[in-house]
A and B are shown apart, each in its own frame.
Chain A
Amino acid sequence: MSKALRILVPVKRVIDYAIKPRINKAGTGVEKTGVKFSMNPFDDIAVEEAVRIREAHKKLVENIHAVSIGPTKAQDILRTALAKGADTCTLIDAKETELEPLAVAKILKQVVAKQNANLVILGKQSIDDDCNNTGQMLAGLLNWPQATNAAKVEIDESSLVAKVTREIDGGEETISAPLPLVITTDLRLNQPRYATLPNLMKAKKKPMEKMTLADFSDVSTEPRLQVLKLEEPPTRSAGEKVASVDELIEKLKSVKAI
């Protein structure tokens, strides 16, 4: 087998990180009409890392393929991924069906096989469901090693072993694992580039394969967890402004905080 990297980068369309989501009146979901959506920030970092790996190893990387499973509009974020440097992409149109990480991982497993990918780079979590599941699940289903919460990735060209520095609770640790491998990105892995206008124009000419959930009929998209309700967290009552350090200390004493 010739040594080549075929990188798969799954990306998710989520409500923009700067927007405070509103729960709908029925308490069943989050209001989505008229809300700004963008690429999940961790996935942006994943795309950037894939492109940087190619910049560091020009001959090694054969292809960077982006994939998104979501509404038809998810093609917008795939275009962004193409503009940032992905070569090809697949939109798996799920319409309004929201998939749980387990179903996403099962579909991605099939995409990995189809693309013959040997490195999958995903965001560590999506900022909407906050699950932090999909990468680990995909690694489990593929029986590949996993390097989660990556803060630094180095790939040895001759051995195809990746050295990954991971963010852990007390600091960081470095592990090494041979490809094929699943990596999930932490915030500090890199600073994603902006898609320039010329690159956005070029991205329109790059290929986008379109599939639907029906193409993965062997994967059940029935949710395993039933969301009974969504509610706003209890709001904190507005506090008071104090004028001096002494007043602050008195207040803290009065509520026995010190």
Chain B
Amino acid sequence: MYAAFCRSSVSFQAKLLGKSNLRFASTLVFVESTKDGKIAQSSLSALSAASQLGNPVAALLAGSASGKAAEELQKNPGSASLQQIFVAEEHAYDHYFAEKVTPLTLELLKDPEYTHFVVAGSAVGKSILPRLGALLDYQPICDITKIVDATTFVRPIYAGNALATVKCSQDKKLISVRASSFPVTAGEASTASISKAPPVSQVSELAVKWEGENLVKSARPDLGSASKVVSGGRGLKNKETFDSLVTPLADSLGAAIGATRAAVDSGFCDNSLQIGQTGKVVAPDLYIGLGISGAIQHLAGMKDSKVIVAINNDQDAPIFQVADYGLIGDLNEIVPELTAKLSQIK
């Protein structure tokens, strides 16, 4: 009864303060966007996870494109659970430097209403969340794949060879979310109100500077969220074979391209395409592995795919132990034939 009384009085106070959308327990989600204001797919997965927690959800957008991104987010069918969007439209937050973004998230999280803070398990999320955890003196729960309840979560450890169910009794739960485990649910567009994020009381003076970037430009679906993935390994021998076999097959399927560490290290393709424990984790409907042996570290990144196809000339390759369909033979013969026949179907 007392708790209920507190709750109603808090929401009453919140109304007085003009924050009518927030109640006693709320979830704050840090949402990433591109420079032109598009919402990152991994952040939509984070929103999907946040809505599973059952409390009202607020989003925080930061950076010079965040005003535009906020409108995009409002319209996005994946954000039905959103009640409020905070915008920190400042250049200082461009490139999401952890040193700059952490004080901003800290400011909002001072509010005891926020019991959960959720980020995507992206490069940005992984750089911000632990720094925040240290400053708030909380141990985050990283890369969760399942929400059991508001305090209990499942996360893979040992390269996905074990699933740990962990209970968190800290006041605030700081969570990063594995995108492939929380598909974006399409609902109605949200009616979330957009407001300015509160000013930061302790701005970081650390002199970190952004010097430039080298992004892989591609019209293909994003690897982390693609429904089909064609992936190449050491068995492709060189970059020319990788380009001449993997790319056309991916084109015929409208698939994203991935690779093993061996392929990346040998220079067959860019390292942002690496799938595995230390690269991206994917769980597409269809995964086709070409010339991939199936080391533990690579399997960690793809073994939750719905259908796995392996094409390899080594019949003892461990990947055949997880592949639904295996085809043994010469890639140079099989893959062009497969590509040609798939193109005909389309």
User: A residues within 8 Å of B by Cβ?
Assistant: 15, 17-18, 20-21, 23, 30, 100-102, 105, 124-125, 127-141, 143-146, 148-149, 151, 163, 166-178, 186-188, 223-233, 236, 238-246, 248-249, 251-252, 255, 257-258
Contacts and interface: CB of A to CB of B under 8 A. Distances in A.
Contacts of A102: 133-134, 137-139
> Which of B127, B135, B165, B169: most chain A Cβ within 10 A?
B127
A116 B133 CA distance: 24
Contacts of A129: 157
Nearest to A15: B158
Interface in B279-302: 280, 285-286, 296-297
B277 A252 contact: no
Interface in B107-140: 122-124, 126-135, 137-140
Contacts of B9: none
Given A141-B134, A246-B341, A170 B215 contact: yes
Given A167-B271, A257-B285, A227 B341 contact: no
B309 A171 contact: no
A239 B308 contact: yes
Contact of A137 (B133, B206, B216, B323): B133
Given A241-B327, A248-B325, A130 B131 contact: no
A139 B214 contact: no
Given A21-B161, A258-B253, A224 B127 contact: no
Given A132-B126, A133-B140, A169-B123, A187 B261 contact: yes
Given A171-B213, A171-B272, A173-B213, A143 B325 contact: no
Contact of B286 (A17, A188, A257): A257
Given A136-B131, A145-B208, A168 B326 contact: no
A21 B253 CA distance: 36
B: contact size bracket: 35 or more
B170 interface: yes
Contacts of A169: 42, 122-124, 224, 272, 280
Contact of B161 (A20, A176, A252, A255): A20
A149 B212 CA distance: 16
A219 B122 CA distance: 30
Given A136-B131, A242-B326, 5 more contacts: A168-B272, A172-B271, A173-B214, A175-B95, A230-B164
A102 B136 CA distance: 11
A105 to B, nearest CB: 6
Nearest to A135: B130
A130 B168 contact: no
Contacts of A135: 130
Interface in B306-339: 306-309, 320-328, 334, 337-338
B278 interface: yes
A175 B209 contact: yes
The A interface, classified by DSSP as helix, strand, loop or mixed, is mixed
Nearest to A237: B324
Given A20-B296, A238-B321, A136 B166 contact: no
A200 B114 CA distance: 52
B342 interface: yes
A30 to B, nearest CB: 6
Nearest to B310: A239
Given A227-B164, A239-B324, A137 B126 contact: no
Interface in B81-120: 95, 97-99, 102
Nearest to B99: A145
A249 B123 contact: no
Interface in B230-281: 253, 261, 264-265, 270-272, 277-278, 280
Contacts of A167: 123, 271-272
Given A245-B334, A258-B342, A133 B133 contact: yes
B161 A174 contact: no
B163 A230 contact: yes
A135 B129 CA distance: 12
A140 B214 contact: no
B141 interface: yes
24 contacts: A21-B162, A101-B139, A102-B133, A131-B142, A145-B99, A145-B207, A169-B122, A171-B272, A175-B95, A175-B209, A177-B207, A227-B165, A231-B163, A232-B161, A232-B163, A236-B324, A239-B326, A242-B326, A244-B327, A245-B334, A245-B337, A257-B306, A258-B342, A258-B345
